Structure 1
Amino acid sequence: MSDDNTSLPPISRRSALKLLGVGAAGSMVGYTRFAKPHPTIHQQESLDLPRYHSQGKKVVVIGGGLAGLAAAYELSQRGFQVTLLEKAPQLGGKVASWKINVGDDEFMMEHGFHGFFPQYYNLKSLVSELSINDNFQSLDFYSLVFKDPDRYRPEVFRPSNTAFPWNIVDLAISSPNRLRWGINLTKIKHLEVFHAITGFKIPRTYDTYDTITVADWVRGEFPQGLYDLYFLPFAKSSLNAPDTLSTGELLQFFHFYFFGNPEGLAFNGTVDDMGTSLVQPIAAAIRANGGQILTDVSVSEIQCQDNKIQAIAYQQGDEQTDVPFWTKKNELIAADSLEYYGAGDAMYAVNPETEEGLSLTCTHQGCTVGRQPDGSFLCPCHGARYDANGKRLSGPAQRDLPQFKVQDREADQVQLVAENPSNDLQRGTLAADYVVLATDVPGTRHLFTRLVGDRDPEAQRKVDQLVVSDPFAVGRFWLDRDFPWEHSKFASLSGYALTDSITLYHQIQTQFKDWAARTGGSVVELHAYCYKEKEFPTQEALLATFEQELYEIVPELKGATVIHRQLVNQKNFSGYPPNSYGDRPTTESEISNLMYAGDWVKMPFPCGLMERAISSGLLAANSILQREGVQRRPILSVNPEGVFKI
């Protein structure tokens, strides 16, 4: 790859410091140019406590994503009797993998590319303990590419060995856009921005900035280049749009990924799919220590007495259970004789006259089918067709659409239950000394509808206030030709209507590299982190836009044959809107033996995405360990505070 800053004159470190207005910053921090700071230890025992629990206490972990897996892993290592329940057929949550077919070939599909940054200290510690470091590979550098090359040239991020302010100096030296950052510290607004991003501190930053969205914060005299080049891409990569994201949360995110991070922004990718590379090894370790893992599980009842969970009743089988669930009305689908509920790949159509409904999730590979003028339903991905009652007519799908009936209505939502629950469901009840709730926001809100008995209403209130962010979408394309590409194998993109990143899977993961070597083709993924549903109300619109923008991003692919399309479209990521920090649930809930884990949990130190999920799971495990007098696991973080005062 060519060096993108060759057209700019060289700049010295002293000049870079002056450009940033931090000429004296080096004397204000305890870091030097040559001494890389170590991670901060958030939790470490000061007492000499036993490492293993010997009383056989039972822990039920609900949710098999990274948060639940981390909690179950740690507790199973320490002598607890752990049972992990997961609703889906596969473990992993947002990093799950599942089988798909492309012609005669079988691949493992995912929810989208995930990068493993070097400051994911707690995730990295699990990887080392499991001896699976070889499952990951360095991607060397990371590019940010703009649609309009005349406005901004590509930014390139590489590994670093320095902390603030030297990481900023290095960025200024290497950036081809440094003269377009637009920073002028003689302006009050610019000085305020500089202090905010370099002075992060919990809870002070949230007290000051949690009341305003990022979009509102950057209005007026904000350094435009700084926003376009760094703030906007970072905001959207949190899977929250600037018009809905709390500025306090963005500053936390920014501190974790850059200002408090001495590791740089290059990262690793998995050699194989996420399930094979990470999820399965964690699950194997849980089972090896006596833990039980059940998938395809629907929790039917959570029994609570005297503000303590006593038992979990569940059903195991496919999704056709007799457990009812609530789903909100979708006003964005064109109105016809049906009502539409849900979003992403969890959509339902209801006939208001008969109160009968259909799941609109194609039984082939999970895309959302759309209603046609003749009343039938068509899958936009691979052409499966169903009649008005959901009966399969043609295409690759082998099963009918699941049928539901309306059990209750309330304002803008309905409660659905399967019309024909499976006959072979296995039912069971688990006693619990402790419960870790590690589901996503929709799952957590649903599980609170299954709580029966006596519990603190404050827990219900806080869960009711949780929100989800705008939906995300992933379009993956198998094409019959390769193409030249000078940027990183995963690159952030800016300036497109939908697409926020591109991943060249045929240059990263083994299964796709082998296929490309055999066929001469390529496998490309485009990711939209947080798009607006009103702009792309259907999956057909998402696929069409992804494909159109693919040819804009890679003109060499115009005229290529698309062998296969795969769409992932979900609305289940945590939202961090203004004024949500104060009431966000912490690890320990108001219910005495219920712990929370997940990316929606309030964290006591800066972290994001996968590291936030893993860390929250380990914090939940630590809370249980502490209550039982067992040594807690050391929890690591980047430097939790910025060097300047706000």
Structure 2
Amino acid sequence: MSTQPAYPGRDRRAVLHRAPVGTDTVREPHHVAVVGGGIAGIMAAAVLAERGVSVTLLESSARLGGRVAAWPLEDGRTMSRGFHAFFRQYYNLRALLRRVDPELSGLVPIEDYPLQRPGGLRDSFTNIPRTPPWSVLGFVVASPAFTARSLAKVNVRAAMELVTARFPQTYSDHDGESAAAFLDRLNFPLAARDLALEVFARSFFADPREFSAGELVAMFHAYFTGSAEGLLFDVPRDDYDTVWWGPLGRYLYERGVSIRTGVSVEQVRSLEQGVELATSAGTVSADAVVLATDPRTARDLVADLDLPTDRRTPRVTHWLDTVARTRSAPPFVVLRLWFSGKVADDRPAFLGTSGYGPLDNVSVLERFEDGARAWSEAHGGSVVELHAYAAAMDVRPGSPQAEAVAEELLHQLHEVFPETAELAQVHRELLVADDCTLIDPSPWLERPGVSTPVPGLVLAGDWVRADYPVALMERAATTGILAANKLLAGWGVLGQDLWTVPMEGVFARRQSARQRATEPDLSA
């Protein structure tokens, strides 16, 4: 008789999803190639290797971490692709991190992350209750964006969708509706819309007009209206490579995983038995492959998939089309600055912004990162990182447009933190990338999931459909588990359980009961 294990957080409504049953380890040798060394690929490799599967992990860049990678600069400084929030409802990601840090001592809490508009309007999450529905009520009461007059104009029916969500149905319920259209329908006051909703939509690297309303509702459910973990989060106490990916790489190596960095996969061939990968360093043969790359690379590899003629069935052709229709998000910009002096002591470690041009948030890295703190103490300065999500499509690395965005980010920083206008830049790093996913308003069930109609091929990553209320890094970790479990189930091996926030909103059951009570009895 199975028992419910300890909950992964404070939320007693968190849901345990059991893996398919089977033997503890493989009974026959199996080899899996995992393409992509980000969160999804590392998770899949870990689950497979822990059950005795031989794994080859292929990563095109020089280090693990994918879109959460970090790398060294001169003088002991580091750079990354930008700040990431490790929310406390990221149960599956945290399960991965616990493999090398059981107590999660590598994470430090951010006590607040204010959301600010010009004119001084600011929301805070520090003293708001964490348990819904009190979290929602507490936010509305505390927020300066809400007044009695503005609340009277809110579309109550639309607002109820935030607390009556059911997954995965909620995703499909909003097919064809953008986040912007949902926000219009919600009719929140403009300031509340910007601070409480649009800021979060843009954190998905998306313009709300191109972003799925279903994904927005799911995000609100997972982070605020449906989970008792709260909206506060943790961050690594040092750069990602030092705290996580270096130790996890050693963890995989100790379990027999062959890690090949700097090796790109050029083509995947589906054979009568198994798969074969053409790589920049030769051919790799395996029983199966987990494709855990960024969405653009995945599209390219699937488009060039070498299949036997008899396997190009209508089902496979349709699946190929669904992968081809996935989209990448617009470019994003990260500007990291090492200043000659320090920002004011009362500046928060992380500040979300709206109404400041392209500036979406500001991080003061010495507030939480050991390497930045060491540089700050040695040089008497601050390390400040600025983000611009969903930049214009013509913003490219080294382009004049990218430099223009960087200049505007700096100008807006001077508006938000005026003291920085008087500080000299000691060092400057500008990064532009466009390899994040866009969950657009197209039909949810038309998005490719973990399983594919191609034998021996499974998908993982934050661009891959999962039926749970998960997103970003947590979707990557979750689909990594699901991809490994899919292969293990085929070999009769026990997979890894996973956890999620509640699968329905706090008022969903009450609404269902009310609907049943008012529906006519058609059985007579």
Instruction: Give the TM-score taking structure 2 as reference length.
Output: 0.89
Q: Could you tell me which amino acid in structure 1 is paired with residue 236 of structure 2?
A: T
Task: Report Cα offsets for 1:209-255 as digits up to 9, x if no partner.
Answer: 12111222333671224412311111111221111011111111111
Pair member with larger Rg: 1
The residue correspondences of 1:255-294 to structure 2 (distance < 5 A) are 255-294=221-260
1:134 aligns to 2:136 (yes or no): no
8 Å CA contact 2:32–2:54 kept in 1: the answer is yes
Deviation at 1:582, TM superposition (A): 2.3
Query: 2-side partners of 1:275 and 1:511: how far apart?
Result: 12
Q: Does 1:90 align with 2:90?
A: no
Cα distance in 2 between the residues matched to 1:619 and 1:276: 27
Amino acid paired to 1:288: E
What residue is the counterpart of 1:638 in the other structure? 501
* SS at 2:301 equivalent: helix
526, 539, 550: which is aligned to 2:386? 526
Q: Distance in 2 between matches of 1:569 and 1:204?
A: 35
Q: Specify every segment of 5 or more residues in structure 1 that has no aligned partner in the other structure, as ranges.
A: 1-34, 316-426
Shift of the 565–228 alpha-carbon distance from structure 1 to 2, 3 Å rule, reads: same
Answer yes or no: is the 8 Å Cα contact 2:294–2:437 preserved in 1.
yes
Q: Which residue in 2 is equivalent to 1:143?
A: 114
Q: Confirm or deny: 8 A CA contact 2:275 2:289 kept in the other structure.
A: no
Residue 253 of structure 1: SS of its match in structure 2?
helix
2:467 paired residue among 567, 584, 604: 604
Tell whether the 8 Å contact from 1:160 to 1:263 is kept in structure 2 after alignment: no
Are residues 1:75 and 2:48 paired?
yes
Aligned residue runs from structure 1 range 460-539, under 5 A: 460-533=320-393, 538-539=401-402
Q: CA deviation at 1:265?
A: 1.1
Q: Does 1:312 align with 2:277?
A: yes
Match of 1:620 in 2: 483
Confirm or deny that 1:198 pairs with 2:163: yes
Question: Is it true that 1:116 corresponds to 2:86 in the alignment?
Answer: yes
Shift of 1:439: 0.4
Letter in 1 for 2:31: K
User: Greater shift after overlay, 159-168 or 607-616?
Assistant: 159-168
For 1:60, give the aligned amino acid.
Answer: A
Contact in 2 for aligned 1:123/1:614 (Cα 8 Å): yes
1:451 aligns with 305
Counterpart of 1:131, as a letter, is: D
| Contact 1:211-1:579 at 8 Å conserved across structures | yes
Partner-residue secondary structure (3-state), 1:538: helix
The equivalent residue for 1:167 is 135
Structure 2 vs 1, CA of residues 569 and 535 (structure 1 numbering), >3 Å: closer, same or farther?
Answer: closer
- How far the C-alpha of 1:261 sits from its partner, in A, is 1.3
The equivalent position to 2:16 in structure 1, one of 38, 41, 50, is 41
Mapped to 2, the partners of 1:488 and 1:559 lie a distance apart of 19
Contact map agreement 2:395 2:402 (CA 8 A) in 1: no
Partners of 1:469 and 1:570 in 2: how far apart?
A: 10
Shift in CA distance, 298/129, structure 1 to aligned 2, threshold 3 Å: closer
Q: Residues of 1 paired with 2:149 and 2:287: CA distance?
A: 55
**What code does the residue aligned with 1:582 have?**
L
Compared with structure 1, are the counterparts of its residues 124 and 295 closer, same or farther at alpha carbon in structure 2 (3 Å cutoff)? same
**Does the C-alpha gap of structure 1 residues 157 and 533 become closer, same or farther in structure 2, counting only changes over 3 Å?**
same
CA 1:242/1:443 → structure 2, altered by over 3 Å: closer, same or farther? same
Q: How does 1:231-630 map to 2 (within 5 A)?
A: 231-306=197-272, 309-315=274-280, 427-454=281-308, 455=311, 456-533=316-393, 538-630=401-493
Separation in structure 2 between the aligned mates of residue 51 and residue 160 of structure 1, nearest angstrom: 44
Q: For residues 463 and 453 of structure 1, what CA distance do their matches in structure 2 show?
A: 16
Secondary structure at the aligned position of 1:453 is classed as: coil
For 2:16, the aligned partner's letter is: I
Name the CA shift for 1:563/1:580 in 2 (closer, same or farther; >3 Å): farther
Q: Is the 8 A contact 2:343 2:420 kept in 1?
A: yes
Offset, 1:123: 1.3
The letter for the 2-side match of 1:546 is L
Q: Pick closer, same or farther for the CA change 1:232–1:181 going to 2, 3 Å.
A: farther
1:63–1:84 CA contact under 8 A, matched in 2: yes
CA apart distance, 1:160: 7.0
Say which SS state the counterpart of residue 124 (structure 2) adopts: strand
For the 8 Å contact 1:183–1:226, the answer to whether it is kept is: no
Moved more, 477-486 or 166-175: 166-175
Amino acid at match of 1:123: L
Question: CA–CA distance in 2 between the matches of 1:583 and 1:626?
Answer: 24
Check if 1:210 corresponds to 2:175. Answer: yes
CA shift for structure 1 position 496: 1.0
**1:106: which partner in 2?**
76
Give the structure, 1 or 2, with the largest relative contact order (CA under 8 Å, sep 6 or more): 2
2: CA distance between counterparts of 1:180 and 1:131?
A: 47
Q: Which amino acid aligns with 1:144?
A: L
1:356-400: per-residue Cα shift (whole Å, max 9, x none)? xxxxxxxxxxxxxxxxxxxxxxxxxxxxxxxxxxxxxxxxxxxxx
- Residue by residue over 1:67-107, the C-alpha shift from the partner in whole angstroms, topping out at 9 and shown as x without a partner, is 10110011111100000001111111110111222xxx132
Residues 1:155 and 2:18 are matched in the alignment: no
Instruction: Give the aligned residue type for 1:155.
Output: D
Query: What SS does the aligned partner of 2:198 have?
Result: helix
When structure 1 is superposed on structure 2, of 554-563 and 525-534 the one drifting more is 525-534
Distance in 1, matches of 2:217 and 2:457, equals 30
* Residues 181/538 of structure 1: CA separation in 2 closer, same or farther (3 Å cut): farther
Counterpart amino acid of 1:633? Answer: Q
More off after superposition, 165-174 vs 231-240: 165-174
Give the match's secondary structure for 1:436: strand
For residues 245 and 216 of structure 1, the distance between their equivalents in structure 2, rounded to whole angstroms, comes to 10
- Aligned residue identity for 1:192: R
The CA RMSD measured in Å over matched residues stands at 2.1
Instruction: Rate the CA distance shift 1:635–1:564 in 2: closer, same or farther, 3 A.
Output: same
Residue of structure 2 in register with 1:396 after alignment: none
In structure 2, the residue matched to 1:61 is 34
* Whole-Å separation in 2 of the counterparts to 1:71 and 1:236: 28
The residue that corresponds to 1:411 in the other structure is: none
Aligned partners of 1:161 and 1:263 also within 8 Å: no
Determine whether 1:222 maps to 2:187.
yes
Contact kept in structure 2, 1:238 and 1:253, CA below 8 Å: no
Q: Could you say if the C-alpha distance between residues 434 and 467 of structure 1 is closer, same or farther in structure 2, counting changes exceeding 3 Å?
A: same
CA deviations over 1:119-165 (Å, ceiling 9, x no partner): 0111112222322512111122221122222xx3x211138774321
Q: State the shift of 1:487 in Å.
A: 4.5
Name the aligned partner's letter for residue 106 of structure 1: G
What corresponds to 2:522 in structure 1? none
Where does structure 2 lack aligned partners over 5 or more consecutive residues?
1-9, 513-524
Q: Bigger CA drift: 166-175 or 636-645?
A: 166-175
Task: Judge conservation of contact 1:36–1:162 (CA < 8 Å) in 2.
Answer: no
Change (3 A) 1:181 1:118: farther
Q: TM-score, structure 1 length as denominator? A: 0.72
Shift of the alpha carbon at 1:560? 1.4
1:111 maps to a residue whose letter is R
Higher helix share: 2
Counterpart residue identity of residue 130, structure 1: V
Local SS of the residue matching 1:613: helix
Q: CA 1:496 to 1:485, structure 2 compared with 1: closer, same or farther past 3 Å?
A: farther
